[in-house]
Amino acid sequence: MAQPFEVLHFREIYGRALRRVETGYDQAFTVAPINVSDPPRESARIVESVRHQLVDILDYGEMFYVSAEICQFLMEELVARMDTKWVFHFEPGDFPTRIGMVYFDTSLIRMPTILAKTKDQALRGLLWGQLALDPRDEAGKTWLVPGSYSDSLSTSIIGKVIYSIVDSIKPGQFADRRFERSQDYRRRYALPWSTRHWLPIPYHQRFDPNLLNDQIDNSTWGNGEMTPEEVKQDDQDAVTSVGTILKLLLAWTAFMQTEIVGTHSLDSVDHDKVLSREGRPPAQVRIVVLRRYASAPEIKHMVDVNWQYRWKVREHYRNQRVGPGRSMVRRTLVREHWKGPDDKPQAHQDTIQSLQR
**Is residue 100 located within the same domain as residue 221?**
yes
Task: Give the residue from 257, 290, 310 where a domain finishes.
Answer: 257
**Is residue 181 located within the same domain as residue 283?**
no
When comparing pLDDT for 311 and 76, which is higher?
76
**Is residue 190 located within the same domain as residue 107?**
yes
Residue 180 has pLDDT above 90, yes or no: no
Other CB atoms within 10 A of residue 165 CB: 25
For 183-192, write each residue's pLDDT tens digit: 666 666 678 9
DSSP string, 113-158: -SSBTTSEEEEEEEEEEEEEE-TT--TT-EEE--SSS-GGGGGGEE
**Is residue 191 located within the same domain as residue 294?**
no
Per-range mean pLDDT, top range of 43-57, 78-92, 200-214, 307-321: 43-57
**Is residue 278 located within the same domain as residue 231?**
no
For 241-272, write each residue's pLDDT tens digit: 999 999 999 999 888 877 554 444 445 555 56
Identify the domain containing residue 327 by its residue range.
Answer: 259-355
pLDDT of residue 138: 57
Q: What is the largest CA-CA distance in the chain?
A: 71
CA dihedral (166, 168, 174, 175) in degrees, to 10, reads 10
pLDDT of residue 14: 94
For 136-166, write each residue's pLDDT tens digit: 655 556 667 655 545 555 558 888 999 999 9
**Is residue 183 located within the same domain as residue 237?**
yes
- For the chain, the average pLDDT equals 78
pLDDT of residue 4: 85
pLDDT of residue 18: 93
**Is residue 104 located within the same domain as residue 233?**
yes
Domain-embedded: residue 192: yes
Residues whose CB falls within 8 Å of the CB of residue 177, separated by 6 or more in sequence, listed in order: none
Other CB atoms within 10 A of residue 334 CB: 12
Please state, in angstroms and rounded to a whole number, the distance separating the CA atoms of residues 96 and 175: 38
Residue 233 has pLDDT above 50, yes or no: yes
Task: Give the residue from 228, 257, 286 where a domain finishes.
Answer: 257
- Worst-scoring range by mean pLDDT, 33-37, 217-221, 295-299? 295-299
pLDDT of residue 333: 75
Quick check: 214 and 200 in contact, CB under 8 A? no
**Is residue 77 located within the same domain as residue 138?**
yes
**Is residue 223 located within the same domain as residue 267?**
no
Q: Number of structural domains, the chain?
A: 2
**Is residue 269 located within the same domain as residue 246?**
no
Residues whose CB falls within 8 Å of the CB of residue 306, separated by 6 or more in sequence, listed in order: 272, 275
- Worst-scoring range by mean pLDDT, 33-37, 113-117, 125-129, 185-189? 185-189
What DSSP state is assigned to residue 333? E
**Is residue 90 located within the same domain as residue 207?**
yes
Q: What type of residue is 30?
A: T
Domain-embedded: residue 153: yes
Domain-embedded: residue 1: no
Task: Give the residue from 203, 237, 257 where a domain finishes.
Answer: 257
The candidate with the shortest Cα–Cα distance to 52, out of 67, 35, 78, 32, is: 32
Between β-strands 157-167 and 193-202, what pairing exists: parallel, antiparallel or unpaired?
antiparallel
